[in-house]
Amino acid sequence: MTTLRTRRRLEMQGLVQGVGLRAYVHRLAVAHHLSGFVRNRGAVLDIEIQGLREDAEAFTQALGGSLPVGARIDALAATIRPPGLERDFRILTSALESAGASIPPDWPMCGECRREMLDPADRRFRYPFTHCAACGPRASVLLDLPYDRERTSMFRFAPCAACESEVRDPRDRRFHAQNVACPACGPRLRLIMAPGGAAPFGRARRADDPVRAAAGLLSRGAILAVKGYGGYQVIADASRAETVERLRARKARPEEPLSVLVADLDAARALVEVGEHAEALTGAMRPIVVARASAAPSPMPSRPDSTRWD
Ligand SMILES: [Zn+2]
Ligand SMILES: [Zn+2]
């Protein structure tokens, strides 16, 4: 019996960068005993696989099967290539050629990262910049394509040894993630009061815990500018009519809608007709959802004269 070997190049287009596809392709190729490489090349994800023909075919068929959340293949072109000498499958440095590449979107924190962040035993306990290969900021941190750490605003934060080993481990869900950070090596929160700004709201207690201190200030009617990966979000307690009026005056937005953050579906149901929006509100992408106000909108928890929705 002859064993037929082949080398093929697959050029993949679509939403193929910043979505964990290189790590996914690497795992799949190793599982199918293939050598070769994967790399970003501008708008394209280049894959070259080499091995038994049946393995190459099984790999190609499996490719679209369980894509990482957010990845989308619009076009896949396959060509036969002359055999190469590699013995294993590698993720190569991106070829610097960015014309026409689509910019990967930001992704909300995934369930696994959230579990880590809430686990007192985890090294990322209460760390707000927790993310992995399947979630976290992309477009917001991107300085240039292709999407690699040195071309994101995370280039200032060198990963610590623990983060580095996650990124290098093909079995880790942070394998080859570009922005991995932890409390030891990543950005940190701090609370800065505007000159004279603290006075009406009392002292911000627990300055060692900026999140608790910020929550305390919000509940006393303060307006905060939260600087995250993607710039500033101005936030206030939507259940305080006076605060919302002050926010509108400062932003010179007397009546345009403001986005309201809700903790979960039940909180959303208290304000709007959730109906067919349930999936968007809880799905992986979690976009801003425009929904109809409830027939009898219950007030925002605890206060009757809250922001109106429409
Ligand atoms: Zn995650
Ligand atoms: Zn780290």
Can you give the residue ranges of every domain in the chain? 5-91, 103-187, 258-310
Cα of 180 to ligand 1 centre, how many Å?
10
Q: What mean pLDDT value characterizes the chain?
A: 84
Q: What is the pLDDT of residue 3?
A: 72
Reported CATH class of domain 103-187: alpha beta
User: Which of 102-116, 155-169, 171-185, 208-222 is predicted least confidently?
Assistant: 102-116
Cα of 111 to ligand 1 centre, how many Å?
7
Instruction: Look at 193 and 308; give whichever has higher pLDDT.
Output: 193
Q: What is the pLDDT of residue 296?
A: 61
**Which ligand is nearest to the Cα of residue 110, counting in written order?**
1
**Which ligand is nearest to the Cα of residue 177, counting in written order?**
1
The mean per-residue pLDDT over the stretch 29-39 comes to 93
Q: What is the pLDDT of residue 2?
A: 61
**Which ligand is nearest to the Cα of residue 130, counting in written order?**
1
pLDDT digits (tens, 9 = 90+) for 197-225: 665 566 655 557 888 888 989 999 999 99
**Which ligand is nearest to the Cα of residue 133, counting in written order?**
1
Whether the predicted pLDDT of 160 surpasses 90: yes
pLDDT digits (tens, 9 = 90+) for 234-258: 999 999 999 999 999 998 888 888 8
> Would you place residue 163 in the very low, low, confident or very high pLDDT band (cuts 50, 70, 90)?
very high
Cα of 176 to ligand 1 centre, how many Å?
13
Could you give the percent of the chain with pLDDT greater than 70? 87
Whether the predicted pLDDT of 19 surpasses 70: yes
Whether the predicted pLDDT of 98 surpasses 70: no
Q: What is the pLDDT of residue 18?
A: 77
Tell me the CB-side half-sphere exposure of residue 141, using CA atoms within 13 A: 25
Whether the predicted pLDDT of 155 surpasses 90: no
Q: Do domains 5-91 and 103-187 have the same CATH topology?
A: no
Q: What is the pLDDT of residue 306?
A: 38
Cα of 108 to ligand 1 centre, how many Å?
8
**Which ligand is nearest to the Cα of residue 136, counting in written order?**
1
Cα of 208 to ligand 1 centre, how many Å?
26
Whether the predicted pLDDT of 307 surpasses 50: no
User: Which of 53-57, 104-108, 232-236 is predicted least confidently?
Assistant: 104-108
In the structure, ligand 2 is a single-atom ion and the residues with CB under 5 Å from it are 160, 163, 182, 184-185
**Which ligand is nearest to the Cα of residue 158, counting in written order?**
2
CATH no. for 5-91 = 3.30.70.100
Q: What is the pLDDT of residue 105?
A: 78
Q: What is the pLDDT of residue 95?
A: 63
Cα of 285 to ligand 1 centre, how many Å?
12
**Which ligand is nearest to the Cα of residue 124, counting in written order?**
2
